[in-house]
Chains A and B, each alone.
Chain A
Amino acid sequence: MSLFRRFLGPQGKQARQGQRRGTEEPEGAGGERQAVRLRSLALGTLFSHLVPGGAYEFLDLGPAIGPNVEFLSHYVRSVRVGDLWATLRATAPTSGPERIERALEPLIDPGSPQRYHGILTWDLLNYLDREELKTAATALSRALRPGGYLLALIYYSAQMPAEPLRYRILDTDTVGHEAPQIRRPAPRYPQRTLNMAFSELAIDRSYLLKTGLQEYLFVRPEPPREEPGTPIG
């Protein structure tokens, strides 16, 4: 049945064992495919908040990846696949906040704000300039429910892959991606910049990985509880 199993391969389980925290390990000893396995603590934390079989709605800004859909299907009822990078690439000559607004509009559905319980941006935010980042952060924050989480991977290393990576969820706290061949300078957004951009969200967890990535798990704070006796709107 499983594309997921096929990707993991028969040694998948053994390979998972002995992983060190936040490390990248080359996969596929045969060299047939340069793949990297990454322990994602933020993803693990996110999944630890979910109840399998829940009725969550997720937005995945990455491309459509079968194993991700399959994996998420154990937890979420609905996942919207955005493939934002493809959309942005299609409008390549233009840049700026407007193209982000246009690209995100069909995904965040302004008509029903705060709909998503989880948003996966993966490493996409690194490929936006500061203005675009701000626009994207505002739009995505508003699409998140109170108590919902947003995952972002930010490079602190000087170099990053030329394009966003295609992350495959291999386990609740493990992702895989192909080894990038070409690199380019990373904007290295500091936490202060992210905090300002995601001003409506708070950082729930942040993990500095050895691989040049910092994982952020943002959460939209719950509104303060109503005082007893206050009529429920």
Chain B
Amino acid sequence: MAWMRNEPDTTPSSPATPSPSPAASPRAPSSGSSGRTERAVIGSSISVQGDIKGEEDLTILGQVQGTVDVKNNSVTVGQSGHVKADLHADLIVVEGRVEGNLFGTDQIILRATANVQGNLTAPRVALEDGAQFKGAIDMEPVRKGQASSGAAGGPSGSSGSSASGGSGVAKGSADDKENASSDSGGSGKGTGPGAGSAGSTSSSGGGGKSGNGR
């Protein structure tokens, strides 16, 4: 699973954290250590309506309405940023407010100050303590093509991808119900025999977990 990948730590400590840059500076040079040479900044007094496309890192400190698509780069919504848009990027870091769907080909990070309403789609998603979020988190990897193909998940609401959830689902064999639910009266009451099975998350029981015969 992508969450478990032990890749070199790509946590965007430096590129993701927007330095308190000058409010309206259109472009701020970045360290370039990651090979990314420039970082565009939408300052806190700037308001943009429309689609933003580009191939460099972007920091949003102002207001944006529309769509943001920076393909293989990162987008950071700073604390003062307010975005009503779908965001498509390699890495998305939110410290401010976003109403829209986020598509990250690598990772999405919601910092403690983030307030996000929308769906997140990325192989890795991190929510810091305090982050406010409402929506669906889809941990399926976003393919590069999908990331920039516009409203892949459609408007907010149920992300289209989740509809495909029907397939390939293994489900626990509910056959092992010693405390079968049928005896609704006191089914399994008390700290009962289930204790043994509790916690055994290993796939040992996998035998019974057939691939969704439904």
- Report which A residues bind B (CB closer than 8 A): 1, 3, 21-22, 41, 43-45, 47-57, 63-66, 69-70, 73-83, 86-87, 106, 109, 111-112, 115, 117, 145-148, 171-173, 191, 195, 202-209, 219, 221-222
Contact = CB atoms under 8 A, between A and B. Distances in A.
B55 interface: no
Contacts of A77: 138-140, 165
B40 interface: no
Interface string B173-189: 11001010110111111
Chain B interface extent, by class: 35 or more
A49 B174 contact: yes
B169 A64 contact: no
* Interface majority SS (helix, strand, loop, mixed), chain B: loop
Nearest to B2: A73
Contacts of B206: 51
B190 A208 contact: yes
Contacts of B34: none
B11 to A, nearest CB: 7
Given A1-B9, A202-B181, A78 B195 contact: no
Contacts of A195: 184
A97 to B, nearest CB: 21
A81 B136 contact: yes
B126 interface: yes
Contacts of B205: 48-49
Contacts of A70: 3, 126
B127 A65 contact: yes
B162 A78 contact: yes
Which 7 pairs, one residue from A and one from B, show the smallest C-beta to C-beta distance? A49-B172, A44-B198, A202-B181, A66-B127, A64-B133, A173-B199, A80-B136
B136 A78 contact: yes
A65 B130 CA distance: 8
